Chains A and B, each alone.
Chain A
Amino acid sequence: MTVDPNAATQSFPPSGPAHRAPGPARYLVPALVAAAVAVGLGVYGKVHDPTGTAFNLAGFSSTGAVKSWLASTAFFFALVQLVSAFMVYGKLPGPRWAAALHRWSGRIAFLVAVPVAVHCLYALGYQTYGTRVMWHSALGCFFFGAFSAKMLLLRSQRLPGWLLPLVGGLVFTVLTLIWLTSALWFFRTFGVTT
Chain B
Amino acid sequence: MKRPGPLLTLLAGLLLGLFMLSLDATTGTRSASSPYKEKSPGVTASPTPSKATASPSPSPSRKAAAGVYTGRTDDDSSAVAVSLRGGRAIAYFCDGHNIESWLKGTVKDDGSLHLTGDHGAQLNGTLKGGRQIRGTAEVGGGHYAFTLDRARKPSGIYRANSQVAGARIVGGWIVLPGGRQVGIVTRDGKPSAAPVIDPGTGAVTVDGQHLTAHPVTP
| Chain A positions near chain B (C-beta within 8 angstroms) | 49-56, 61-64, 103, 106-107, 110-111, 114-115, 117-119, 122-124, 127, 129-130, 133, 148, 150-152, 154-155, 186, 189-191
- With A53-B35, A55-B27, A130-B198 known to touch, is A111 a contact of B210 (CB < 8 Å)? no
User: B120 within 8 Å of A by Cβ?
Assistant: no
- What CA separation (Å) do A36 and B53 show in the bound complex? 36
Give the residues in chain A near B24, CB-CB below 8 Å: 51, 54-55, 118-119, 122-123
- What CA separation (Å) do A55 and B22 show in the bound complex? 10
Partner of A51, one of B17, B23, B28: B28
Give the residues in chain A near B23, CB-CB below 8 Å: 55
Chain A interface mostly helix, strand, loop or mixed?
Answer: helix
- What CA separation (Å) do A126 and B135 show in the bound complex? 34
Which residue of chain B has its CB nearest to the CB of A191?
B210
- What CA separation (Å) do A152 and B2 show in the bound complex? 10
Partner of B210, one of A55, A56, A190: A190
Give the residues in chain A near B57, CB-CB below 8 Å: none
Which residue of chain B has its CB nearest to the CB of A58?
B34
A154 contacts B31, C-beta separation under 8 Å: no
| Chain B positions near chain A (C-beta within 8 angstroms) | 2-3, 5-7, 9-10, 12-13, 16-17, 20-21, 23-25, 27-29, 31-32, 34-35, 37, 152-154, 156, 179, 198-201, 203, 210, 212, 215
A190 contacts B35, C-beta separation under 8 Å: no
B20 contacts A119, C-beta separation under 8 Å: yes
Give the residues in chain B near A148, CB-CB below 8 Å: 10
- What CA separation (Å) do A106 and B215 show in the bound complex? 36
Give the residues in chain A near B10, CB-CB below 8 Å: 148, 151-152
Q: How far is the CB of B28 from chain A (nearest CB, A)?
A: 5
Give the residues in chain B near A50, CB-CB below 8 Å: 152-154
Give the residues in chain B near A55, CB-CB below 8 Å: 20, 23-24, 27-28, 31
B28 contacts A154, C-beta separation under 8 Å: no
Give the residues in chain A near B201, CB-CB below 8 Å: 64, 186, 189
Known: A50-B154, A61-B35, A107-B9. 10 other contacts (CB 8 A): A50-B152, A53-B35, A55-B27, A62-B212, A110-B13, A118-B17, A118-B20, A127-B200, A154-B6, A191-B210
